[in-house]
Structures are given as structure tokens and as C-alpha cells.
Amino acid sequence: MTALISPQQRDALERWLTHLRALDGAAANTITAYGRDVSAYLSFLAEHRGGAEGTAALTTLAIQDIRAWMAHERARGLSARSLARALSAVKGFTAWLADRDGADATAILSTRGPKFRRKLPRPLSEDGARAMLDTVGDQSRADWIAARDTAVVTLLYGCGLRISEALGLTGADHPLPDTLRITGKGNKTRLVPVLPAARAAVADYARLCPYDLSRTEPLFRGTRGGPLNPRLIALVMEKTRMQLGLPATATPHALRHSFATHLLSAGGDLRAIQELLGHASLSTTQAYTAVDAARLMEVYEKAHPRA
């Protein structure tokens, strides 16, 4: 369907995506998803309005056009969550166009997305997380691979890292310092304290690893020496959770949720946890932690100046 998009619109889309890459520091997966969503939107409009148009038409659409697109997407099976993401991409592209061309795109930018219930993360229990760290190394016969897997999951739970952040470490990060400088989503940098257990786990792995961990090479290696595939960590955790009888939600990302939840449950400050996770919004951190309302109220009463 992309053949229906006019060259002018296609060029504008590429310019916007380049803008996101260069200035906003958006992740590669986000760029790909936004490009796909907006391309599908532009293709629909060309068909809906009887032919390809220039960019000026995109900022002067009626609310009925946007609703027709949303109805079309829902009819072809797009979930409410996915449609909300697509609408966000369309609004971002339209806002950029309107700003560039001095147009008024209020009708489009004020369109409300579909409502959906956000799936709250399910962290492991403290005992479950501890058992995962103690058992994940048992899944491999090779000592260095067992040590590698243990080191990675210890970083996920002990430092609250995303799997991409843990696997993005290089030989220059070994031995681990007291504080790691992590560049996360949106090229945002944060400082993360490193627990002695995490430092020891990585040191144990580095001692056993058969490959040269030079400063510019990935710290965590696959069997043949290349960068470790994150899917391998997901698989070894899947084997471990089955052995331990943990739920299917015991994934690498669940360890990051567990890090936040267990810190808050132990009396950690919500704002400090937000900084450790690298969240732009405190509300995101709240959703990340699976503590009950009473615990959140307790934190609120201690922190709020008028409490």
C-alpha cells in the first residue's frame, strides 16, 4: 500500500523519522514502529480521499477522516493498545508538519485515542527472584556460560537494568565500578549503584570467559564469541522458572520490575527509584511497582510536605 503515498508525503515522513533519530534520540524499534504506523495511515488516506495528496492536506483533515482511519484499523483487527500507539505516531508526525509549515492541525491533534487497560507488570516475589539468581546457572554444563547467565540476571535484578542495557556493557566496564553510567531510552544517561553481589558475579564470569574482553568488545559473549543474544537469556530464564515452578511472567524484564517493587517495599523513595530506572515520569515508576495502595499512601505521607 505504500505505493499510494505521494513522493512529497514519503519525503516528509523520512525527514520526520530522521528528526526523531537525530534530535529526540528515539530507539531504533520505536522509529521502525512509527514509520510503519504512519505509512499505513498515509496509504489509507490516499485510498479514502481518492488519490495521493501533498503534505498540506495532512494538516487540514477533518475529524471524520481521522475517525474513519481509526475505524478501519480496528476493523482489520488492530488492538486498542496498538491503535493508541499508531495514533500517537500520527499526531507526532502531524505536529511536526504543522510546526514546519505554520499550519493549524488542532482537529487532528485533539483526537482522542481508544481507551484500554494498561497491563501492570508482574514482578517476582523476593523469594522467587532470589531463587532465580541461585538457580539460573544450573541450566548450563559449561562453567563460563553458567557464570555469564548468572551475571546477567544479577545485573537485571540488582541494578534494575533493561536487558539491552546489560548486554550493551563492554570490556571497558570490567571490573564493574561502584556506579555504572547507563545510557537508556531516548539517550538519557543515569547513574546506577552497583551492588557487591553484581560486581562479584561479573568478575566471576570475566575470569572464566574464554574470550578476550577488550575495551571495545561486548562484555557478555555468545558461545562463538559474538555479542550475547538477549533471546538466550530469556530461554535460560524460561528453563529456570519451569524448574522452580515460577509463573510464565518470570522474564528478564520482570527482574527490572522486581528491582523497583522490592526497593519500594523495603522503604525506598519513589523519586529515587524513578532516577535509578531512568523514567521520565513518576507515574511510569508508580505503574512499574506492584505494591498495594496502602504502601503507596505510606510513602506519600512520609514524602509530601503537607502530610
pLDDT in tens, 57-94: 888 888 888 889 999 998 988 888 888 888 889 999 99
Residues of the chain with CATH 1.10.443.10: 126-303
- Where in the chain are all domains bearing CATH 1.10.150? 2-109
| Among 18, 28, 15, residue whose Cα is nearest residue 187 | 28
Torsion of Cα atoms, 38 then 42 then 48 then 51, to 10°: -170
Which of 40, 113, 120 lies closest to 80, judged by CA?
113
pLDDT band at 200 (very low <50, low <70, confident <90, very high): very high
Mean pLDDT of 101-105: 83
Q: Is the pTM of this model over 0.85?
A: no
How far apart are alpha carbons 280 and 303 in whole angstroms? 19
Question: Taking the chain, what is the end-to-end CA distance rounded to the nearest angstrom?
Answer: 57
Please check whether residue 216 is in contact with residue 170, taking contact to mean a CB–CB distance below 8 angstroms: yes
Angle at 221 between CA 220 and CA 223, to 5 degrees: 145
pLDDT of residue 24: 56
Identify the band that residue 1 occupies on the pLDDT scale cut at 50, 70 and 90. very low
Please answer whether residues 208 and 149 qualify as being in contact, where contact means their C-beta atoms are separated by less than 8 angstroms. no
Amino acid letter for position 122: R
Average pLDDT in the chain:
84
Residue 106 has pLDDT above 70, yes or no: yes
Q: What are the residue numbers of the active site?
A: 162, 185, 253, 256, 279, 288
CATH code reported for the domain at 2-109: 1.10.150
- The residues, ordered by sequence, that sit 6+ positions from 95 with a Cβ below 8 Å of its Cβ are 105, 109
**Nearest Cα residue to 169 out of 206, 102, 133, 220:** 220
The Cα angle at residue 80 between residues 76 and 83, in degrees rounded to 5: 70
Overall average pLDDT of the 23-39 stretch: 80
Provide the pLDDT for residue 101. 84
With pLDDT > 90 as the criterion, what percentage of the chain qualifies? 40
Compute and round to an integer the Cα radius of gyration of the chain: 23
Q: Taking residues 260-274, report their average pLDDT.
A: 75
The pLDDT value recorded for residue 236 is 95
More confident residue, 282 or 256: 256
How large is the average pLDDT for residues 6-17? 91
Nearest to 254 by CA among 117, 176, 160: 160
Cα 92 to Cα 20, 101, 108, 212, 304, distances in angstroms: 10, 14, 10, 44, 35
pLDDT in tens, 215-249: 999 999 999 999 999 999 999 999 999 999 998 88
CATH number of the domain at 126-303, please? 1.10.443.10
